[in-house]
Amino acid sequence: MNSVKVTEIAHRLVSVHLQAGEVAVDATAGNGYDTLLLAKIVGDAGVVFAFDVQACALAASGNRLKEHNMDQVVKLCQRGHESLAEVVPGCHHGRVATVMFNLGYLPGGDKSMITREHTTLSALQQALDILRAGGLCTVVCYPGHEGGDQEVAAVLRFIEGLDHDAYQIERHDSEHRMNFPPFLLAIKKMSSG
Ligand SMILES: C[S@@+](CC[C@H](N)C(=O)[O-])C[C@H]1O[C@@H](n2cnc3c(N)ncnc32)[C@H](O)[C@@H]1O
């Protein structure tokens, strides 16, 4: 069976939503697949801020962007996404069109360098704060690895606690029948208030 990965669904949603010239954030750059998508869409007239705590992840993302001549569009930030609102300049706050999170660990990398509940929740709140009205935040959640279940439970509680008039939330489940499959949360900010 040809199952669609939730990361592909995130890409589809972002492709429909994000426009050339806009501001976007990749909160977990990793190997740069999401960063590249964002950069290709916003193009030279836009800007992407891409965060990762690991130098090797930013190097991989940088190489991928260079291969596609997209490195000028992206500001690679070796900072935790919990400093998102500090790093993304204030002039963009309230103008960010898309923030992508892809939680967990770097595929092929150090599996102890995972995203964690406390910093993820802080970053998520900051992401929602700097989104524009109509902005989209995607979060790919991985409950399967050690610590992932706890982080994902916290993310779900956070989502549950949002004002559901202010945020429209969709959940997309994986078609994989494995234990604890990843899933996608898509959060759309309805107003700037
Ligand atoms: C699943 S990978 C991201 C995959 C990536 N989006 C892609 O397209 O290849 C998760 C990444 O989150 C990073 N990470 C862990 N804690 C972080 C934090 N506090 N802030 C930003 N990135 C973090 C890890 O280093 C890892 O590279």
Digit-coded pLDDT (tens) for 3-46: 679 999 999 999 999 999 999 999 999 999 999 999 999 999 99
Q: How far is the CA of 157 from the centre of ligand 1 (A)?
A: 21
User: What is the number of the ligand 1 atom nearest to the C-alpha of 34?
Assistant: 8
User: Which of 98, 41, 42, 32 lies closest to 66, judged by CA?
Assistant: 32
Q: Which CATH class is domain 6-109+116-189?
A: alpha beta
| Contact (Cβ atoms closer than 8 angstroms) between residue 112 and residue 70 | no
pLDDT band for position 176 (cuts 50, 70, 90): confident
pLDDT in tens, 131-161: 999 999 999 999 999 889 999 999 999 999 9
Q: In sequence order, what are the beta bridge partners of 48? A: 24, 74
Q: Where are the domains of the chain?
A: 6-109+116-189
Q: How far is the CA of 42 from the centre of ligand 1 (A)?
A: 21
Listed in sequence order, the DSSP H helices in 79-179 are 84-87, 117-130, 148-160
Report the C-alpha gap between 18 and 170 in whole angstroms.
17
Report the C-alpha gap between 172 and 105 in whole angstroms.
20
Does ligand 1 come within 6 angstroms of the Cβ of 46?
Answer: no
pTM of the model: 0.97
